[in-house]
Amino acid sequence: MPAETISADRAASFVKSGMWLDYGTTLCEPDVFDKALAARKDELENVKIRTCLSTRPRAVIEEDPEGKHFHLFSWHFSTYERRKHDAGRCNYTPLNLGEVPDYYRRFLDPVDIVILQTCPMDDGGYFNFGPTNMWQRAIIERAQLVIVEINREMPYVFGKDNGVHISEVDFIIEGDHQPCAELPDQEPSQIDRTVAGRIAAEVEDGACLQIGIGAMPNAVCALLMDSGVKDLGIHTEMLTDGLGLLYRSGRVTGSRKTLDPGKVVYTFALGSLALYATANRNPDLYCHQVDYTNSPHVIMQNDKVVSINNTTQIDLQGQAASESDGYRHISGTGGQLQFVRGAYASKGGKSFICLSSTYEKRGERRSRIVFTLTPGNIVTTPRSDVMYVVTEFGMVNLKGKCVAERAKAIISLAHPDFREDLERQAYEHRLIPRGVSFYCRENPSDDLQTRPTLVR
């Protein structure tokens, strides 16, 4: 039976109490259906909705502030979802982002209804997902009912299985055809630029880049545009404005990639309208599913993979906590750990965890480098996986270093005001054993006689 075009109100009428709905991810989340469903709140209870990186407020949550009718479950928090989590209206699901398609296929109950915002149907009968492939196909495979919400402003993006055929669709509704939501670009600080400069100096011709979200990783892209580096490749989870600018500058050719040579590979784009315009019908840009972009065994097949990600706190053994502030959840694991592992396994690959050495909280300057993580903080990247750590005070490689060497190396990256206390704690708790007189050297030619003695 061919898919029927219906009103958003009728589509929302299919929802019953206790159902699991799926809104997909980022730019694919529905807007018109969401408003129509919110209008039915008094008729429903215990409706559970999965989201990821919501780019606009969800009407079902805004119209149900006490959570009597709808519950939100997110695979990764946007700013909006973080605020709703703080208010008790959104819950996080732990993951490695690249594994989510497998979760749907192996571990989750069938989805009652999936509602995805898409491009209008193309000549081949497909509704393109736009620049958000992620795990949409896996949801559709597991859904009892498939509804697409048409957005004529959605960029049409090339990619493997980046769409749903009309034969798989049950109902079609017209959206409000708003331009895709933009992610405001963060202006890099001087600290961001300093850290970025250290990382950019490590990027070689032919390197294959993965850039995480944030001003600091994006500052690396700006510096690479002004460098002499050439023939860069991109195989990333998120296509950022920084990567878009780097592609438009001509530094990205992908000619040295083993996988998908000549293609910019990503699983979702989130940024400015200019970024979406760059992706629109561009054969150089290829939007894959997340189990392809994020799987370490896939990532490693390209040589010289460079993975650049932020963290918010790191301890003296090298554990990076990138997704929470104590028990307060902030974002999510995302693909950080998978790209750290994939980059390390790549021939000539490098992974960088970057952070500013301090931050301000309640008018007080605090160190992001700590003896022990804040209680409740989630370890995103274990100490055994961390490779390069970078702050405005330097860069160290933790691979092959014992605990004492790690502690000394990481202390050297802290703000000078905090180093003495960190060193004292390291000795008190035997991270650095008493009587140890070896030195942590990043450069074998360093003159030991010029370094301070840290023997206790």
pLDDT of residue 94: 97
- pTM, to two decimals: 0.93
pLDDT of residue 438: 54
Dump pLDDT digits (tens) for 123-151: 999 999 999 999 999 999 999 999 999 99
Backbone angles phi, psi at 289, to 5 degrees: -70, 155
Percent of the chain at pLDDT exceeding 70: 95
pLDDT of residue 450: 35
pLDDT of residue 451: 38
Dump pLDDT digits (tens) for 235-267: 999 999 999 999 999 999 999 999 999 999 999
Distance between CA atoms of residues 81 and 186, nearest Å: 19
DSSP code string of 147-188: EEEE-TTSPP---TT-EEEGGG-SEEEE---PPPPP-PPPPP
Could you please state the CATH topology (level 3) that the domain comprising 7-174 is classified under. Answer: Glutaconate Coenzyme A-transferase (3.40.1080)
Dump pLDDT digits (tens) for 58-102: 999 999 999 999 999 999 999 999 999 999 999 999 999 999 999
pLDDT of residue 274: 97
For 190-428, CATH number out of 3.40.50.1820, 3.40.1080.20, 1.10.1200.10, 2.60.40.290 equals: 3.40.1080.20
Marked catalytic residue, from 29, 237, 323, 423: 237
Neighbours of 301 (CB within 10 A): 19
Name the pLDDT band for 437 (thresholds 50, 70, 90). Answer: low
The residue among 209, 212, 207 whose CA lies nearest residue 354 is 212
Domain ranges of the chain: 7-174, 190-428
pLDDT of residue 449: 34
pLDDT of residue 443: 45
Are 7-174 and 190-428 the same fold in CATH? yes
**C-alpha distance from residue 219 to each of 32, 156, 276, 313 (Å):** 36, 28, 20, 20
Mean pLDDT of 155-165: 97
Task: Please confirm, yes or no, whether 428 is among the known catalytic residues.
Answer: no
